[in-house]
Structure 1
Amino acid sequence: MTLTEEKGSVARYVTITGTRSIPAEAEAELPGLFDAYLQPFATPDAHFYLGGAIGIDTTALDWLADRSQASLTVVVPCTVTDQPAGAVASIRRWEQAGRLARVVELRADRLGTDAYHARNRWMVDRSGFVIGFPRGTDQTRGTWYTVNYAADQGKPRLVVPV
């Protein structure tokens, strides 16, 4: 087997993380950002882990499900029904369309920062690469928490500010 064949046979596992609040001016730019920064990794042998919240989670899910053949797993801290209505609708739509490889409900006792961090660690622990779409530079925010967690594990990261 050649190096090219070997690289092509190894599935990529990628975590997507990002802000839940997307400024209106940035929302129109997201398809272009995804074209530039997700598309190169969205090969048929890729597997993406996405949180099931609104914002980047749902927008990236919709973009990947519609524009790629990559496998998609949505991970939620509690249950899908605990997510905002728009996120639930997106998850259910792609689940019914057969685009989701899996939906993981971690069943945390309550929704909050600890549950979101546990969800993000779960995704990063199963990934070899993290793409973060943070809003701002506040290192206490969830997206930065996830990117820094991946850094602590020595995993490559791509940060695309929104």
Structure 2
Amino acid sequence: MPLAAAITGTRQTGHREITWFDALFGTYLAPWATGDAHFYIGGAIGIDSLTLLWLAANSTSRITIVVPGTVAQQPAEAQHAVERCRERITEIVELGVSELRTPAFHARNRYMVDRAQMVIGFPIAGPEGRSGTWQTLNYGASQGKPRLIVPI
């Protein structure tokens, strides 16, 4: 059975160079990014956009982008990443929420995890917090799904 994985992570990635993320994803995403794999990625900035760009360039895996509202509601940087990778994106799921508040992002995260077999998370290094990344990782754990946690 092909692997389906939800990717979650921080929006705060400016503390590292892009080459650092390329190497990180080469180590922690590449082993899962086979031709039959399917990745569910949120359409936000930070890890979402970086993993989208990396997977689009370095794999033939299927990619589904999930946004709580519409792609047009996402930050310009995230919209640009989606547009740049459009030919490689298998599906864009717009959940249609009008107000982009915490419950909408949690619903997006649950949507991704519910369709995945595992969760790959890239939280900010440090103790476990209450971020959306940790909420998503913990939701995956509550569903009995394996988690790969790679602190950045």
Alignment TM class, shorter chain as reference: over 0.9
1:141 maps to which residue? 131
More helix by share: 1
Deviates further, 49-58 or 133-142? 133-142
- Please state whether the residue corresponding to 2:50 is helix, strand or coil: helix
Structure 1 regions of 5+ residues with no counterpart? Answer: 1-9
Deviation at 1:137, TM superposition (A): 2.7
1:72, 1:28 → 2: CA distance?
Answer: 22
Q: Pick from 95, 113, 118 the counterpart of residue 124 of structure 1.
A: 113
Count how many residue pairs are aligned between Structure 1 and Structure 2: 151
Higher-Rg structure is: 1
CA distance in 2, matches of 1:128, 1:79: 25
Question: Given the alignment of the two structures, is residue 106 of structure 1 paired with residue 101 of structure 2, yes or no?
Answer: no
Deviation per residue, 1:13-47 (Å, 9 max, x gap)? 00000000114236442111100000000000000
1:4-23 → structure 2 map (5 Å cutoff): 10-23=1-14
- Do residues 47 (structure 1) and 38 (structure 2) align? yes
Aligned to 2:59: 68
1:89-117 deviation digits (Å, cap 9, x = unpaired):
1111211xx21110000011211211111
Inter-partner Cα distance in structure 1 for 2:112 and 2:25? 20
Displaced runs of 4 or more, over 4 A = none
Residues 87 and 75 of structure 1: CA distance in aligned 2, closer, same or farther (over 3 Å): same
Matching of residue 88 in structure 1 with residue 58 in structure 2: no
In structure 1, distance between residues paired with 2:15 and 2:96: 32
RMSD, aligned α-carbons: 1.1
SS of equivalent residue, structure 2 residue 97: coil
Identity %: 51
Gaps of 5+ in 2: none
1:79 — aligned with what? Answer: 70
